[in-house]
């Protein structure tokens, strides 16, 4: 019985040593034996740098074989990995490193000056393991060779890890303006991966897409479900991941059999992928999660790819996937409403509660709450917020509050109705609108800022910022977008900006968001 994530790799090395574990689109690859050996060397080097079980290790490396080796090396030390967004502002990444007190950060040399610049402003400087570049695994191999010098780092055994030990921390958008770290244990992740195995029946012949960045929770299915079954993981970088024509060609040319991404990516592929020009016969599963799939684009995709099975996977980072729905492709052409989010996964339990915290009657709207082996223990260094994220329902059972409003249909499937708070999903990423507002208020010329989200047929969700500037000042669109890019990740930058003399208010002198939505 698997009790930790790196055991999946150890088992794969034993069962399928010569299978290709991971490939990059340029042809670089690594077998399971090579991935196992190199991650062992990374483990040894990290232990030599002082990493111990229970520590945190930051990973500031672009998505590559090198970063995958690092992930498994960290896990084998008994520490938790903390993947950073290479495209995020350095100040945000430095906040993450400081917040969870990493022992070591594995970092590409390209990003090291930014880390040093943050340290010069008065912050602590963690120990670093610097990789010259990323790609193909050759750079991490060279780095370890250089670090070893005349002798390899002393070989150590992988740590003895308990199921409830921390495996990774994923930082998501926070309503206070600062990101918050979702803590996930080995038990949390393993229970989810085991559910995926039961539901999707992967084999060693499968070729999994890895479209999601490693700091995004969709990557958990990509990495560990693939490795558990001796399959091949196809790494897709962020640049290529935004170009639908190239993505469509990659799916065909790399003979991907299991695809997983946010619906916005599949919508673009359906519209601009020229799908009639390639052979997609290898594709057997299309999985999507993170936001509502516009029904018009889902219909188009199913029409062009009629043969795979389609699954809508729903769940916040705190639970990974907690409900699922298999799309009946033979009837989707007649749908006019978005598809349901389905039923609660077998490894979890769910309940719909009313505003008073009582279980709702069947068919009534309410907040979806989840409990079970895959549910987070809470947020790093935020005990009060962690406490408030759970609710006791019934006989003292603690459920995680997703903040999503749902209704159970007569057939037992749950239908997503919206957010209880101001959190949205954009391009699959969870975004607190309040964090964008906090960013805008940092600009010295901004007097008032309010952000609203609107449905969009192409993007899924569109973010519109409304700004009132200080008297006598005027901001350009370029200046505002540049300022945002320096303070928040690219996926959080508003799609549109409007300028006002002052923002509309309600009778209680609060910003009138409904009026702003009507103007957006």
Q: pTM of the entire structure?
A: 0.89
- The topology under which CATH files domain 340-419 is Luciferase; domain 3 (2.30.38)
pLDDT in tens, 206-235: 999 999 999 999 999 999 999 999 999 999
Integer Cα distance of 184 and 143 in angstroms: 29
Which positions of the chain have pLDDT values less than 70?
122-124, 150-151, 175, 507-509
pLDDT in tens, 90-120: 999 999 999 999 999 999 999 999 988 887 7
Residue showing tokens 């990995």: 81
Q: Give the domain ranges of the chain.
A: 6-238, 340-419, 431-519
Q: What is the pLDDT of residue 122?
A: 66
Q: What is the pLDDT of residue 248?
A: 97
Helices 244-253 + 263-272 axis angle, to 10: 90
Q: What is the pLDDT of residue 509?
A: 58
Q: CA distances (Å), 125 to each of 104, 121, 401, in order? A: 10, 11, 36
Q: Span 6-238: which CATH code?
A: 3.40.50.12780
388 membership: H or E segment, kind and range: helix 383-388
Q: What is the pLDDT of residue 221?
A: 98
Query: What CATH class is the domain 431-519?
Result: alpha beta
Dihedral angle computed from the Cα positions of residues 64, 66, 69 and 74, in that order, rounded to the nearest 10 degrees: -110
Token pair of 502 as six digits? 């002052």
Q: What is the pLDDT of residue 171?
A: 96
Of 33, 29, 30, residue with least CA distance to 13: 33
């Amino acid at each position: 019985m698997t009790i930790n994530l790196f055991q999946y790799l150890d088992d794969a090395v034993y069962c399928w040593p010569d299978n290709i574990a991971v490939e990059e689109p340029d042809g670089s690859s690594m077998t399971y034996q090579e991935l196992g050996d190199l991650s062992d060397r990374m483990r040894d080097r990290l232990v030599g740098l002082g990493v111990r079980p229970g520590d945190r290790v930051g990973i500031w490396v672009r998505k590559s074989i090198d970063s995958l080796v690092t992930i498994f090396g960290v896990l084998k030390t008994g520490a938790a990995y903390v993947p950073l967004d290479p495209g995020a502002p350095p100040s945000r990444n430095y906040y993450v490193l400081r917040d969870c007190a990493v022992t070591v950060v594995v970092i590409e040399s390209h990003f090291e000056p930014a880390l040093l610049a943050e340290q010069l402003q008065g912050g602590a400087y963690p120990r670093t393991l610097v990789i010259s570049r990323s790609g193909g695994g050759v750079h991490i191999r060279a780095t370890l060779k250089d670090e070893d010098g005349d002798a390899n780092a002393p070989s150590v055994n992988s740590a003895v890890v308990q199921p409830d030990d921390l495996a990774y921390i994923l930082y998501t958008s926070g309503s206070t303006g600062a990101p918050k770290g979702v803590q996930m244990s080995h038990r949390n992740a393993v229970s989810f991966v085991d559910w995926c195995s039961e539901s999707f029946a992967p084999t060693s012949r499968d070729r999994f897409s890895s479209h999601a960045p490693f700091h995004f929770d969709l990557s958990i299915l990509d990495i560990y479900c693939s490795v558990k079954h001796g399959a091949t993981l196809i790494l897709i970088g962020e640049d290529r991941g935004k170009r639908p024509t190239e993505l469509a060609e990659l799916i065909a040319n790399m003979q991907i059999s299991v695809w997983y991404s946010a619906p916005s990516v599949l919508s673009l592929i359906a519209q601009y992928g020229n799908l009639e020009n390639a052979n997609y016969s290898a594709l057997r599963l299309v999985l999507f999660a993170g936001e509502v799939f516009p029904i018009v684009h889902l219909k188009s995709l199913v029409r062009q790819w009629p043969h795979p099975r389609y699954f809508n996977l729903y769940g916040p980072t705190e639970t990974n996937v907690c409900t699922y729905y298999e799309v009946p492709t033979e009837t989707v052409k007649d749908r006019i409403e978005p598809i349901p989010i389905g039923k609660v996964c077998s490894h979890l339990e769910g309940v719909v509660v009313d505003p008073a915290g009582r279980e709702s009657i069947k068919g009534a709207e309410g907040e979806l709450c989840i409990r079970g082996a895959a549910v987070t223990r809470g947020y790093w260094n935020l005990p009060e917020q962690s406490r408030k994220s759970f609710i006791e329902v019934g006989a003292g059972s603690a459920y995680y509050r997703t903040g999503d409003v749902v209704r159970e249909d007569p057939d037992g499937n749950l239908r997503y109705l919206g957010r209880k708070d101001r959190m949205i999903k954009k391009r699959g990423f969870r975004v607190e609108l309040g964090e964008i507002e906090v960013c805008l208020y940092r600009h010295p010329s901004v007097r008032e800022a309010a952000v609203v989200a609107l449905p969009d047929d192409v993007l899924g969700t569109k973010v519109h910022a409304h700004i009132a500037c200080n008297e006598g000042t005027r901001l350009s669109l370029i200046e505002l977008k540049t300022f945002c890019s320096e303070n928040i990740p690219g996926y959080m930058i508003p799609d549109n900006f409007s300028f006002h003399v002052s923002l509309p208010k309600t009778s209680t002198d609060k910003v009138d968001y409904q009026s702003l939505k009507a103007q957006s």
